[in-house]
Amino acid sequence: MADDVIVVGSGVIGLTAAVVLAEAGRRVGVWSRERAADTTSAVAGGLWWPYRIEPEEAVAAWSLESFRVLSQLAARPRETGVRMVDGTHASTAPEEQGPWTAGVPGLRPAGPGELPAGYGHGVRARTPLVDMTAYLGHLQHRLAAAGGTVTDRDVPDLAEAGRAAPVVVNCTGLGARALVPDPLVHPVQGQVVVVENPGVDEWLAAENHGTGEILYVLPQPYGVVLGGTAREHVWDRTPSPGTARSIISRCARVHPRLAGARVLAHRVGLRPARSPARLETGRLPGGARLIHNYGHGGAGVTVSWGCALAVAELVAAEDD
């Protein structure tokens, strides 16, 4: 066998797991039917925030480990695509978010003058904000530097990967629904609009708890990402003009200058949701070790390093 580990899937979850394993000295091959630039990860807004993901205790640990690593990568933003950016999450309080809030330096309740109109409370924090195109490229470079490989190939059966390596890490996201199969995995459609930046330098996120409607404004080097939607069980990847107008209108109520900003792109991604997210081990026919690492919904970036390190620990445990 040429590889010690085959990672199936080249989104942010798969690439991060592959990097951690390869940099620990494992011979790692990534198999994926999609290139990283074509995955849902490439469409993501890139804000670190534990968004709609369970189980709570594990998510807190995964998220804070990722916060630590991403904070270090933010020292080299041109190389990594990661920056530390101040922002506000409106319509929420620290105690409503979960145990991870205690581990985020400086996270605090927002004052009245720090909240957008129409919101009575919220939190302020300085968090990683990731340019996903640059960041996925950074991960690919690190993987190659550590001796890892990426192969474009369809994987109709995980047992096929198990015949090529003694350990298989399943990071197929939404693809796990058919591949495992796992009917708990389902899409949560997210649509965003990218516009020229009229001078926004902080991120903003909010959720209407009555309707489930979400709003976010994420300043990136290439423009401002405006969102969004969270439509459960919707598979359509076609941007809706009406939804785009609604997104721009909602965001412009917070930042009026966005109303006239030139539109650069419309994007739709399908978040691979599962409750709870799955990180556990099993066996494939023939005896290969199988580690599932999928179902992170819209929090893939947020938990990626914590989950990757947990995968590495499971792989190492097999050696003992």
Domains: count for the chain: 1
Tokens of 37: 């630039």
Instruction: Name which of 113-127, 143-157, 214-228 the model is least confident about.
Output: 113-127
Distance CA 108, CA 14 (A): 33
Range of the domain at 247: 5-319
Select the more confidently predicted residue: 290 or 52: 290
Confidence (pLDDT) at 212: 62
Confidence (pLDDT) at 211: 63
Tokens of 161: 């990967």
Whole-angstrom CA distances from 273 to 17, 91, 103, 160, 188 are 19, 23, 25, 25, 7
Distance CA 133, CA 145 (A): 19
User: pLDDT tens-digit profile of 295-319?
Assistant: 999 999 999 999 999 999 999 987 7
Answer whether residue 104 shows pLDDT above 90.
yes
Confidence (pLDDT) at 93: 80
Confidence (pLDDT) at 210: 60
User: pLDDT tens-digit profile of 193-207?
Assistant: 999 999 999 999 998
Mean pLDDT of the region 3-8: 97
Confidence (pLDDT) at 111: 92
DSSP state of 224: E
Answer whether residue 168 shows pLDDT above 90.
yes
Q: Helices in the chain by DSSP H: which ranges? A: 12-23, 56-73, 77-80, 94-97, 132-145, 158-162, 176-179, 241-254, 300-319
User: pLDDT tens-digit profile of 228-254?
Assistant: 899 999 999 999 999 999 999 999 999
Which residues are registered as beta bridge partners of 249?
none
pTM across the whole model: 0.96
User: pLDDT tens-digit profile of 88-98?
Assistant: 999 888 788 88
Percent of the chain with pLDDT over 70: 98
Domain CATH code at residue 33: 3.40.50.720
Mean pLDDT of the region 48-59: 94
Q: What band does 54 get if pLDDT is binned at 50, 70 and 90?
A: very high
Alpha-carbon torsion angle 227, 231, 234, 237, nearest 10? 0
Confidence (pLDDT) at 129: 98
